Amino acid sequence: MAAAARVVAARRPWHVRARRWARANLFSSGWNTLLTAVTLAVGGYITFALLRFVLVSADWGVIEANRRLIFLGRFPQGEEWRVWPPLWAFLLLAGASYGLWGRLRPRDAVVFVLSSAFLYAFMVEGANALLLGIGLALAIGTWAASDALVRGSRYEELAKRITVGGWALLVPFLLFMLAGFGGVRSSLWGGLLLNVVVATVAMEAALVLGVLFALGRASSLPLVSRVSALYIEVIRGAPLIAWIFIGWFVLPAFLPPILGLQDIGLVLRAMLIFSFFEGAYIAEIVRGGLQSVPRGQVEAAHAVGLGAVRTMTLIVLPQALRNVIPALVGQLITLWKDTSLVAIIALTDAVGAAQAAIAQREFIGRQAEVLLFVAFLFWTVAFVMSRLSQQLERALGVGQR
Amino acid sequence: MSTIAIPGRAPGFWHRRRTRRLAIQAAFGVLVALILLYLLERALGLQLGFEFLRSRAGFAISHQWATDFSANNSRLDAYLTGVWNTVRLVVVGLLLATFLGVLAGVSRLSSNWLVAKIALVYVEVFRNTPLLIQIIFWYTAVFLRLPPTREGIQLFDLVFLSNRALVIPWAFPQDGIGVWLIVLAGAAVAAWAVRRWRIADEERTGQPGRGNTMAVTLFVLLAAVSYALTDQPLDLEVPTVNPPVNGSFRGMGGGLQVSPEFAGLLVGLVMYTGAFIAEIVRGSIQALPRGQGEASQALGLGAYDRMTLIILPQALRIMIPPLTNQYLNLTKNSSLAVAIAYPELFFVGGTIQNNAGHAVPMFLLIMATYLVLSGVTATAMNVLNRRVQVVGNN
- Structure confidence at residue B393 (pLDDT): 46
Mutate to test the interface with B, among A198, A254, A258, A276 (most CBs of B within 10 A): A254
- How many whole angstroms separate alpha carbon B323 and alpha carbon B312? 14
Q: Which class is domain B77-142+260-393?
A: mainly alpha
Report the relative pairing of strands B170-173 and B166-168 from DSSP bridges.
unpaired
A:355-394 residues touching chain B, CB 8 A cutoff: 355, 358, 365, 367-368, 371-372, 374-375, 378-379, 382-383, 386
B:302-361 residues touching chain A, CB 8 A cutoff: 303, 332-333, 335-336, 338-339, 346, 350, 353, 359-360
A:162-221 residues touching chain B, CB 8 A cutoff: 220-221
Three-class DSSP category at A288: helix
Tell me if B29 and A337 make a contact (CB, 8 A cut-off). Answer: no
- Structure confidence at residue A6 (pLDDT): 54
Separation in Å, CA of B46 to nearest CA in chain A: 8
Closest residue, chain A, to B372 (C-alpha): A237
The residue type at A158: L
- How many whole angstroms separate alpha carbon B139 and alpha carbon B261? 6
Report the relative pairing of strands B256-258 and B252-253 from DSSP bridges.
unpaired
The residue type at A91: L
Separation in Å, CA of A279 to nearest CA in chain B: 16
Walking along chain B (394 residues) 10 residues at a time, the average pLDDT comes out as 55 73 88 88 77 77 75 82 90 94 91 89 92 93 81 74 78 75 87 86 79 83 80 72 56 74 93 94 86 87 82 84 90 91 89 84 90 88 78 46
CA proximity to A285, closest of A206, A202, A214, A233:
A214
CA proximity to B330, closest of B300, B369, B370:
B370
- How many whole angstroms separate alpha carbon B270 and alpha carbon A400? 36
- Structure confidence at residue B266 (pLDDT): 94
Separation in Å, CA of B128 to nearest CA in chain A: 5
- Structure confidence at residue B95 (pLDDT): 94
- How many whole angstroms separate alpha carbon A330 and alpha carbon B252? 46
The string of pLDDT tens digits covering residues A84-119 is 888 888 888 888 888 777 777 788 788 888 888 887
- How many whole angstroms separate alpha carbon B371 and alpha carbon B365? 10
Tell me if B370 and A242 make a contact (CB, 8 A cut-off). Answer: yes
Q: Within 10 A of A168 (CB to CB), how many other CB atoms are there? A: 11
Q: Within 10 A of B64 (CB to CB), how many other CB atoms are there? A: 14
- How many whole angstroms separate alpha carbon A213 and alpha carbon A283? 6
Query: What residue ranges of chain A have pLDDT lower than 70?
Result: 1-11, 258-263, 397-401
CA proximity to A316, closest of A340, A345, A295:
A295
Spell out which residues of chain A touch residue B118, defining contact as CB-CB under 8 Å.
Answer: 39, 43
Q: Is any Cβ of chain B less than 8 angstroms from the Cβ of A344?
A: yes
Angle at which helices B113-127 and B75-108 pack, to 10 degrees? 150
ipTM: 0.86
Three-class DSSP category at A258: coil
CA proximity to A287, closest of A277, A298, A279, A276:
A279
Cβ-defined contacts of B78-84 (< 8 Å, 24+): B78/B348, B78/B351, B78/B352, B79/B53, B79/B345, B79/B348, B79/B349, B79/B352, B79/B365, B81/B343, B81/B348, B82/B343, B82/B344, B82/B345, B82/B346, B82/B347, B82/B348, B82/B349, B83/B344, B83/B345, B83/B369
Q: Is any Cβ of chain B less than 8 angstroms from the Cβ of A40?
A: yes
Q: Is any Cβ of chain A less than 8 angstroms from the Cβ of B180?
A: no
Tell me if B130 and A340 make a contact (CB, 8 A cut-off). Answer: yes
Q: Within 10 A of B62 (CB to CB), how many other CB atoms are there? A: 10
Question: Which residues contact residue B109 at a Cβ distance below 8 angstroms, ignoring those fewer than 6 apart?
Answer: B116, B282, B285, B286
Three-class DSSP category at A294: coil
The string of pLDDT tens digits covering residues A38-81 is 888 988 999 998 899 888 887 888 888 888 888 888 888 877 78
Q: To the nearest 10°, report the CA torsion of A106, A107, A109, A110.
A: 120
> Domain residue spans in chain B?
77-142+260-393
- How many whole angstroms separate alpha carbon B185 and alpha carbon A250? 48
CB of A247 within 8 A of CB of B342?
A: no
Angle at which helices A191-218 and A325-338 pack, to 10 degrees? 140
Q: How far is CA B133 from the centre of its chain?
A: 21
Spell out which residues of chain B touch residue A368, defining contact as CB-CB under 8 Å.
Answer: 137, 141, 145
